[in-house]
């Protein structure tokens, strides 16, 4: 058996043979230098050329990673690159993992970053674990790498994101010419902000607080409604659907009840503890079925298999299964499904049905995952509705004024600068304000949500000094395990647990009756998840008290809309205070009310919000998003772009996103583009005809058509999908056309889209003597750009139409 080796010089001599023999190469280093990339470039290029998987993640800690190095790596076709945004916290991993098609792999871990000196002449210490040393250790290292690689704090590296990093890199180095000296000093002191991500293996014998211990064998009322909706969805011919249920209603049990109709089931989640909880829930519902946790080493033949997305998502593990291996696939916390880590799994398998379950889609209107679930949100319930139905605990909300001036804290695009935020938070007067608010409004068992490990430690120490028992629970905790902490809180041995993000998803503590928000709300999704931690029903709990420190931070003026009894109208109310359910209370400090009024007056201009949302998505994709991508994945409502700018190309023109030729094309056909964007659509018929014309290709899309020519395409489009037929082809007259009759379908087309569109288009659309056409002359040189825009608008409008009508 090969032994573990200590490598103190020329690490490159060990890396190259491993790269040549491995099937997958994973590199995780705190920084990357161009000199190191140049050393490995040809070897990585050869590996990629032979179909090997190469993933590399670097950090932006102190902006040591060179933009030139990232650009050089981007030249490697097929490599997957991500950048860990450390936000000022210490980020020091140095690991090189080499997997094989077998169940084992080798890896090097130690002190060597990706630089020439670290790989050749520098004084470095690294441990090399050959493939035969410890298969289980390699598997753990691989799982941890993938968790870090796809962590929420990482972004994909592409031309757009590297350019943004280069700007920040140059600005930082202008401010800190003594970078290397400062970096060395911080390495000695070691910042105590905690590791950016740490995964602890959760074994079934030491799961956190069990929330579903009773043997529930029949659905509860909310589950019954959702289950009936899912069964209707199956009957209507759908093969995918999403269900949105708030935390505490029993999404996993719902999936278990639904699984009764399927033989082989795969349940996918992104956290290991969720897998064990889901396995227990499914066993309650289906005690006669075999279950298993997939470990990536041996193909499990259990009837119901539970797998981590990071384990089963690896190509070598996917290939252990046939695409049609499972009859039902359940994806937990489905709002993550748009991530690359899920996409490969969803694309690979072909189950009879794919069910996505979630409490909080990334966008509160579910658009980010709408396309993945085939245009079908089978059932959706907001937590406010569940409270109104007495399925969740009512809340008493206390909005407490936070005097911190967050306008002086740098905003980094998706979060506040960690060092600046801590400087504002780590003050005794701030802690005292939080303590007094908690003392006034607390009940018996409290969870406190913080923005960092340092803040959690600071507040726990402050509360302890005041005579209360408080603990800080996070990824670096050593004094308490998560289960021990929850048990202590449940029994009353602990008054409050301060945490950062351990309780956002997957773990519930029903006895918790007080939530303390000592952090700015940066994400409405996370805020919703955290509120859900206190709403689960529990014997003797009448209310959940929510104590929320509200300052002039981002989202402070819109977060309260999540508590409104009319959430679909949020943002349109004339009053600041939401109308909470009758069995709940809302209490706001007068200073909070005044602050919210002031923030509303200073609201970011609408155009700037739309530009920011577009730029965020462009950065994520590394290119200009299509119109449909902007709708599905963008942060802002896509219809706002049309309302504000007349069309999506109009927005691109206003935002400086078009090159000079595209701008010329836009100016030439602006009115026609607006006509296609704005023409009314009570039904989808206009865009179906237009899509047919576009389907003939760039050279022929302007050629006139007859209703008879369009009829087969028109009929097939509306009848091939049940939801299209149900939405736009199910009235009495349309049902008579389900059996294709060309003359009758052509008659409908002539009457509905063709005649009506020509009558409302101010001359742009012509229907004369049975021929349909556009009064449009296009310069052949400009046709390519205009045709592409027409396809994007048509695709978007059809999708948007059916999405709106389905709700």
pLDDT in tens, 693-714: 999 999 999 999 999 999 999 9
Measured between alpha carbons, how far is 684 from 796 in angstroms, rounded to an integer? 12
Helices (H), 88-247: 116-119, 135-149, 159-175, 179-189, 221-235
pLDDT at 206 over 70: no
Q: Which residues pair with 358 in a beta bridge?
A: 244
pLDDT in tens, 388-398: 888 899 999 99
252, 223 Cβ separation under 8 angstroms: no
Structure confidence at residue 179 (pLDDT): 57
Quote the mean pLDDT of the chain. Answer: 84
Rg (CA), the chain: 28
Measured between alpha carbons, how far is 483 from 207 in angstroms, rounded to an integer? 7
* Most distant CA atoms of the chain, gap in Å: 89
Same domain, 313 and 347: yes
Q: Which residues pair with 765 in a beta bridge?
A: 774
Same domain, 274 and 361: yes
Structure confidence at residue 575 (pLDDT): 57
Strand ranges for 496-590 from DSSP E: 496-499, 514-517, 544-550, 585-588
Structure confidence at residue 370 (pLDDT): 57
Query: Does a structural domain hold residue 412?
Result: yes
Q: Please state which of the ranges 235-249, 334-348, 544-558, 792-806 shows the lowest mean pLDDT.
A: 334-348
242, 255 Cβ separation under 8 angstroms: no
The CATH number of whichever domain residue 710 belongs to comes to 1.10.10
283, 305 Cβ separation under 8 angstroms: no
Residues spanned by the domain of 241: 204-381
Q: Once rounded to an integer, what is the mean pLDDT over residues 576-600?
A: 88
Q: Please state which of the ranges 175-184, 419-428, 462-471 shows the lowest mean pLDDT.
A: 175-184
Please state, as a whole number, how many other Cβ atoms lie within 10 Å of the Cβ of residue 736. Answer: 10
**Ranges 166-180, 301-315, 751-765, most confident:** 751-765
Structure confidence at residue 659 (pLDDT): 94
Same domain, 449 and 331: no
The CATH number of whichever domain residue 276 belongs to comes to 3.40.50.300
Structure confidence at residue 262 (pLDDT): 94
pLDDT in tens, 108-146: 999 999 998 889 888 889 999 887 666 678 888 888 898
The CATH number of whichever domain residue 59 belongs to comes to 3.30.870.10
pLDDT at 525 over 90: no
Measured between alpha carbons, how far is 440 from 421 in angstroms, rounded to an integer? 26
Q: Model's pTM, two decimal places?
A: 0.64
Number of domains composing the chain: 4
Query: Does a structural domain hold residue 662?
Result: no
pLDDT in tens, 464-513: 999 999 999 876 666 777 778 888 998 999 999 999 866 555 556 789 99
**Burial (0-12, 13-18, 19+ Cβ within 10 Å), 298:** exposed
Please state, as a whole number, how many other Cβ atoms lie within 10 Å of the Cβ of residue 479. Answer: 9
Query: Does a structural domain hold residue 366?
Result: yes
Same domain, 73 and 151: yes
pLDDT at 806 over 80: no
Measured between alpha carbons, how far is 99 from 319 in angstroms, rounded to an integer? 15
pLDDT in tens, 632-676: 878 788 888 998 899 999 999 999 999 999 999 999 999 999 999
Query: Does a structural domain hold residue 706?
Result: yes
Same domain, 723 and 760: yes
pLDDT at 405 over 60: yes
Query: Does a structural domain hold residue 798?
Result: no
pLDDT at 197 over 50: no
Same domain, 481 and 375: no
**Ranges 160-169, 176-185, 788-797, most confident:** 788-797
Same domain, 124 and 21: yes
Q: What angle do CA 139, 141, 143 make, to 5 degrees?
A: 70
Q: At what angle do helices 272-285 and 251-258 cross, to 10 degrees?
A: 50
Query: Does a structural domain hold residue 527?
Result: yes
61-85 burial by CB neighbour count: b if 16+ within 10 A, else e?
bbbbbbbebbbebbebeebebbbbb
Same domain, 170 and 246: no
Structure confidence at residue 57 (pLDDT): 96
């Amino acid at each position: 058996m090969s032994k573990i080796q200590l490598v103190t010089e020329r690490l490159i001599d060990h890396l190259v043979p491993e790269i040549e023999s491995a099937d997958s190469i994973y590199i995780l280093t705190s920084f990357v230098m161009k000199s190191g990339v140049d050393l490995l470039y040809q070897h990585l290029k050869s590996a990629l050329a032979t179909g090997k998987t190469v993933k590399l993640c670097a950090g932006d800690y102190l902006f040591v990673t060179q933009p030139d190095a990232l650009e050089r790596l981007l030249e490697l076709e097929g490599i997957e690159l991500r950048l860990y945004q450390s936000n000022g916290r210490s980020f020091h991993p140095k690991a090189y993992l080499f997997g094989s098609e077998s169940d084992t792999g080798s890896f090097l871990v130690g002190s060597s970053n990706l630089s020439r000196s670290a790989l050749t002449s520098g004084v470095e210490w690294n441990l090399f674990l050959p493939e035969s040393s410890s298969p289980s250790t390699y598997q753990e290292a691989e799982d941890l790498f993938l968790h870090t690689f796809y962590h929420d704090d990482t972004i994909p590296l592409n031309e757009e994101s590297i350019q943004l990093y280069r700007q920040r890199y140059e600005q930082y180095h202008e401010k800190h010419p003594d970078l290397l000296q400062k970096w060395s000093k911080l390495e000695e002191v070691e910042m105590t902000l905690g590791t950016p991500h740490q995964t602890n293996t959760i074994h079934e014998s030491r799961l956190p607080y069990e929330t579903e211990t009773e043997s529930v064998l029949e659905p509860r009322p909310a589950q019954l409604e959702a289950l009936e909706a899912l069964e209707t969805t199956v009957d209507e011919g759908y093969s995918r659907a999403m269900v949105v249920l708030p935390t505490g209603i029993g999404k996993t049990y719902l999936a278990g009840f639904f699984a009764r109709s399927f033989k082989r089931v795969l349940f996918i989640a992104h956290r290991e503890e969720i897998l064990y909880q889901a396995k227990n829930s499914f066993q309650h519902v289906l005690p006669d079925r075999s279950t298993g946790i997939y470990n990536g080493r041996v193909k499990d033949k259990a009837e119901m298999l539970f797998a981590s997305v990071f384990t089963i998502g690896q190509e070598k593990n996917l290939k252990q299964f046939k695409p049609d291996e499972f009859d039902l696939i359940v994806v937990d916390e489905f709002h993550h499904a748009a991530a690359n880590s899920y996409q490969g799994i969803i694309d690979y398998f072909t189950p009879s049905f794919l069910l996505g379950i979630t409490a909080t889609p990334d966008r509160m209107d579910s658009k980010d995952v709408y396309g993945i679930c085939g245009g079908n949100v089978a059932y959706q319930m907001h937590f406010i509705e569940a409270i109104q139905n007495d399925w969740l605990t009512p809340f008493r909300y206390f909005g407490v004024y936070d005097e911190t001036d967050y306008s002086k804290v740098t905003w980094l695009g998706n979060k506040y600068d960690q060092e600046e935020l801590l400087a504002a938070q780590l003050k005794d007067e701030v802690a005292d304000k939080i303590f007094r608010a908690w003392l006034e409004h607390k009940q018996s068992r409290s969870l406190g949500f913080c923005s960092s490990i340092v803040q959690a430690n600071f507040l726990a120490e402050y509360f302890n000094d005041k005579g209360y028992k408080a603990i800080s629970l996070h990824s670096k905790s050593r004094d308490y395990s998560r289960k021990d902490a929850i048990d202590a809180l449940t029994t009353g041995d602990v008054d409050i647990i301060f945490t950062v993000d351990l309780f956002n998803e997957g773990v519930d503590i029903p006895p918790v009756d007080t939530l303390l928000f000592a952090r700015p709300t940066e994400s409405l999704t996370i805020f919703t998840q955290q509120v859900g931690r206190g709403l689960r029903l529990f014997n003797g709990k009448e209310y959940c008290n929510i104590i929320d420190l509200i300052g002039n931070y981002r989202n402070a003026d819109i977060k309260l809309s999540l508590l409104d009894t009319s959430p679909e109208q949020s943002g349109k109310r004339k009053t600041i205070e939401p109308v909470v359910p009758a069995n709940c209370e809302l209490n706001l400090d007068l200073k909070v009310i005044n602050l919210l009024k002031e923030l509303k007056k200073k609201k970011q201009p609408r155009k700037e919000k739309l530009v920011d949302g577009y730029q965020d998505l462009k950065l994520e994709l590394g290119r200009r998003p299509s119109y449909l991508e902007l709708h599905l994945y963008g942060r802002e409502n896509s219809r706002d772009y049309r309302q504000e700018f007349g069309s999506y190309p109009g927005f691109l023109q206003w935002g400086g996103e078009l090159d000079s030729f595209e701008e010329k094309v836009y100016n030439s056909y602006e009115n026609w583009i607006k006509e296609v964007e704005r023409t009314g659509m009570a039904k989808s018929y206009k865009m179906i005809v237009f899509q047919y014309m576009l389907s003939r290709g760039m050279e022929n899309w302007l050629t006139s058509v007859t209703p008879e020519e369009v009829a087969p395409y028109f009929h097939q489009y509306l009848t091939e999908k049940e939801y299209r037929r149900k939405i736009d082809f199910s009235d009495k007259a349309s049902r008579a056309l389900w059996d294709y009759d060309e003359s009758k379908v052509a008659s409908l087309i002539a009457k509905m889209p063709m005649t009506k569109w020509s009558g409302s288009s101010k001359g742009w659309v012509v229907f004369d003597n049975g021929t349909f056409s556009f009064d449009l002359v296009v310069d052949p040189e400009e046709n390519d750009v205009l045709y592409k825009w027409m396809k994007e608008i048509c695709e978007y409008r059809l999708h948007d139409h059916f999405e709106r009508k389905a709700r």
